[in-house]
Amino acid sequence: MPYWRLSGYYFFYFASLGALVPFWGLYLQADGFDALAIGQLMAILSATKIVAPMLWGHVADRTGRRIRLVQVGSLLSLLGFLCVFVAEGFWGMALALLLFSFFWNASLPQMEAITFNHLRARPTGYALVRVWGSVGFVLVVVALGAFVEHGSLEIVPIWVLFLVLGIFAITLVIPDNASTAGDRTSPSLRDLLRRPEVLAFFAACFLMQFSHGIYYAFYSIHLESAGYSSTAVGQLWALGVVAEVIIFLVMHRLLERFGARRVVLWSLGLAVVRWLAIGAFVDILLVQIGAQLLHAATFGTFHAAAIHLVHHLFPGRTQGRGQALYNSLSFGAGGAAGSLIGGVLWAGSGPLVTFGVGALMSALGFYILWRWTRESFGQDA
């Protein structure tokens, strides 16, 4: 298995996310955009996940040429991001982010399928590859936070550009794996999506990422409004991802011992606690440290368990579209809805209500998954 080359992709991809998520909202704010506009622009980064992964997944499942599609998407995302440097006004920035994020988001689900195919009989080892994405995120958040503290937010798009270039470069050395395009023994995607437990699972994923859409768009702004420095903001983001790194290292043991369904339920329950702590106690540093440590659960264990389930629920030639559906419905539709509605709530009702709605969505996701899936759901995964 090409461990380091696969890990390199995750490193650069999530390092670019580490430059975008904590600092892009601040960059937009410094560029003169208000809270509603920031919510709308940040939502574009999530909204393109609704369409792009499904398009790439459909082609990949039909052709089996996943790595070539990843390479094309990575190159086009690089070219798209260059438009940010010449964009003017809201619509110019919106178009630039649309072009960039469409192709940036299209490739990741296919890399997930490629990684699981390389893992073959050891799918629980996914977290040991994915952990390097978290390492990249941490390093960039800490380093860029220090640069922003002593410099200007104008450096943020330059960092993103070089990291996106790194994504494209690493895709050129990743080998493809056995094609599943000709596998006719797999169930149809339509039949899989008729299963109530699969629909309940995707609903829970949507609601979890809805709550994260609020967090990603407004957590940095929330902290800065409460008096935290840019360095402190970066350190709190990094702390959350360090916790994520640690949980990834033992994730295979958690899945083997407790099963994916139970891990996902725990993650949703802890998300309720996290969003309430962020919304109500932003002035208490120790509470914020505890809330960021819970990122290990709300993202780390949730994502690793969820994507593990997707790999087993969508076998063979449904793989690419299964991973694409997970990304589209959760990070795409859920994240976009969270950013958009979060922007409206933030402008009208403030942070406490906004993060309270995030907590409510996580609680609803917990109930749906608990109510409409059986204890045995995912145990064979």
What separation, in Å, do the N-terminal and C-terminal C-alpha atoms of the chain show? 21
d(CA 92, CA 374): 48
267 in helix, strand or coil? helix
Are 224 and 25 in contact by the 8 Å Cβ rule? The answer is no
51 in helix, strand or coil? helix
User: Could you report the per-residue pLDDT of 234-267, keeping only the tens digit for each?
Assistant: 889 889 988 988 999 999 889 888 989 999 999 9
d(CA 228, CA 238): 15
CA angle 348, 101, 299 (to 5 degrees): 65
pLDDT on residue 256? 85
d(CA 101, CA 90): 16
Amino acid residing at 82: L
d(CA 41, CA 24): 10
pLDDT on residue 181? 46
pLDDT on residue 336? 83
pTM for this prediction: 0.81
pLDDT on residue 11? 96
User: Could you report the per-residue pLDDT of 193-241, keeping only the tens digit for each?
Assistant: 889 999 999 999 999 999 999 998 899 889 999 999 888 888 898 899 8
Burial of 178 (0-12, 13-18, 19+ CB in 10 A): exposed
Are 150 and 260 in contact by the 8 Å Cβ rule? The answer is no
The alpha carbons of the chain give a radius of gyration, in whole angstroms, of: 19
Element (H, E) at 6: helix 3-20
Q: What is the pLDDT along the chain (381 residues), one digit of tens a residue?
A: 788 999 999 999 999 998 997 889 889 988 888 888 988 888 888 778 788 888 888 888 888 788 999 999 999 999 999 999 999 899 999 999 999 999 999 999 889 888 888 887 676 678 889 899 988 988 898 889 888 878 788 999 999 999 999 999 999 999 887 545 445 556 788 888 889 999 999 999 999 999 999 998 899 889 999 999 888 888 898 899 889 889 999 998 898 889 899 999 999 999 999 999 999 999 999 999 999 999 999 999 999 999 889 988 887 778 788 888 998 899 888 988 998 899 899 989 999 999 999 999 999 999 999 999 987 675 544
pLDDT on residue 178? 55
DSSP-derived letter for residue 84 is G
